[in-house]
Amino acid sequence: MDRLMDWKGRVLRRRYRLDERVAVGRTVEVFRAYDILEEREVAVKLPLPHLLSDRDFCDSFRSAAHRATRLHHPGIIGVLDYGIEDDRPYAVTEMVEEKTLHELLAAGKKMKPVGALYFTVEMGRILVYLHEQGVTHGSLDERHVFIYPGRRARVSDPGFPVVLGGAASPHPFSQDPRRDLSDLGYLLYRSLTGRSSAEAVADIREGKLRWGDDVPPRLRRLVQLCLDSVSGAGFPHAGDLLREAVSTLREEVPMAPESRPEQGEPDAAEAAEKHLPSIALPRLKRWQIWLGASLLGVAAIFFFVWLLSAAITGSKVEVPNLVGVSVEEAQKLAAERDLGVLVVGKEHDVGVRAGYVISQDPKGGIMVKKKTVIRVLESLGPLTVPNLIGLTLEDARLVLESRGFRLGEVVYREVEGYSENRVVETDPPYGSRLSSGDAVNLVVNRKGSGT
């Protein structure tokens, strides 16, 4: 394996150029990278070289990256892609410029009680979503939380394997979602008190939390319930935490709106609406009412005349050929002949550019009455074969079907460096362009072999 710094400047999969190493953690190093295909900055995370001999860790890393690509929530740093290069797995994520909670706490900053409540609501929504997807973050610490303007927070690396206690051996993430609630309690305690990590851990372990006078009793109780969750004495679910955080926020700031309420959640704005003064509508004069009624009558007459002219006209026009034409241009061509265009569906097509017409009904050259609507199928452009290397056969099948492909022929071979039943090759290869419903063939490792 190359030395740690040798990966700077490399291009992974002929797509991701590693420009600058920006961080080194307990299990991964992080590069600022450039996506040559999409022409944007991204972050690339790679396990440290000494962990590559641990096949279980590498498999867990790839599985976590695969799970994370399915997570779509504004509070989660998105995993965009993943793969393997020279037997070293990697994950491609959004590039984040905001500071982590760790950096802010290290600079001596603290959260005010109201700010901490907004933070708790944000984090509660993220955890509710994760747990509903069957994912436990498992390592929710200060370095995995990013603070954004406008009281927003986002988390990274949900479900990725971690190293516990600084040991050399990696461990899978915790499966108990209550662990996330307990970790959030630790983050809140540190953020509200400004205690160092060692001091906060000692306070929590001894059961003697050192609160300032500015922290209200109900917020203290909320933090304690978070801390007690992992033992079963606190919140049983993230939804219970979220409801308590919303209730506490309303108690502290009754008219405060919550940021980005999710569908189905209580919104503080609803309570605020009850206190809004009623606005009296202006009374219209009689001549204004008569004028409005007259205008409506004139408009109704014109509409009736237009319908009548469309019904009695017997003239026909030829349908233009719209296949291969952009939808916008198709609408113009149809309008020139007094015809309409309706997009009835969209599909991926390797032979037709995105936004262009794949097919139409009625077809071009047919004579139809004016005002006829031409139904067209719009192209979404080609589908790109996803990276399936390292996935189990079942996971690869699910990914293909979710992306609009179908599983083709499966061939088994013995390939060094992969676990049993893991995908080692695809045909067509990763990045190829196909249409909806096209088949992707897989080569799967027959049995486990050393890494």
Confidence tier at 279 by pLDDT (50, 70, 90) = very low
CB 403 within 8 A of CB 396: no
Confidence tier at 43 by pLDDT (50, 70, 90) = very high
Quote the CA–CA distance of 23 and 164 in Å, as a whole number.
19
Q: Let me know if 335 is exposed, middle or buried by CB neighbors in 10 A (0-12, 13-18, 19+).
A: exposed
Domains and CATH numbers, the chain: 4-94 (3.30.200.20), 109-272 (1.10.510.10), 289-379 (3.30.10.20), 384-445 (3.30.10.20)
Q: What's the chain's average pLDDT?
A: 82
Confidence tier at 281 by pLDDT (50, 70, 90) = very low
Q: Is the pLDDT of residue 92 over 50?
A: yes
- The mean pLDDT value for 150-167 works out to 73
Per-residue pLDDT tens over the stretch 386-440 = 888 888 888 888 888 877 888 999 999 888 777 888 888 888 888 788 888 889 9
Q: How far is CA 398 from CA 83, 385, 403, 404, 436, in A?
A: 17, 13, 9, 10, 15
Instruction: Give residue 26's pLDDT.
Output: 79
Instruction: Give residue 449's pLDDT.
Output: 47
Instruction: Give residue 312's pLDDT.
Output: 54
12-16, 31-35, 264-268: lowest mean pLDDT where? Answer: 264-268
Picking from 109, 199, 102, the residue whose alpha carbon sits closest to that of residue 142 is 102
Quote the CA–CA distance of 360 and 377 in Å, as a whole number.
6
Q: Is 90 helix (H, G, I), strand (E, B) or coil?
A: strand
Q: Is the pLDDT of residue 5 over 60?
A: no
Quote the CA–CA distance of 266 and 255 in Å, as a whole number.
14
Per cent of the chain over pLDDT 70 is 84
Per-residue pLDDT tens over the stretch 358-367 = 999 999 888 9
Measured between its terminal Cα atoms, the distance across the chain in Å is 12
Sheet harboring 340-347: ordered strands across?
340-347, 373-379, 357-361
43-55 per-residue burial string, b: 16 or more CB within 10 A, e: under 16: bbbbbbeebbebe
Instruction: Give residue 381's pLDDT.
Output: 86
Per-residue pLDDT tens over the stretch 205-226 = 888 899 988 999 999 999 999 9
**Number of alpha carbons in the 13 Å side-chain half-sphere of residue 377:** 11
Q: Is the pLDDT of residue 330 over 80?
A: yes
Quote the CA–CA distance of 244 and 258 in Å, as a whole number.
14
Considering 1-5, 101-105, 420-424, 435-439, the range whose residues carry the highest mean pLDDT is: 101-105
Instruction: Give residue 76's pLDDT.
Output: 93
Per-residue pLDDT tens over the stretch 235-275 = 999 999 999 998 888 888 765 555 544 443 444 334 333 43
Instruction: Give residue 274's pLDDT.
Output: 40
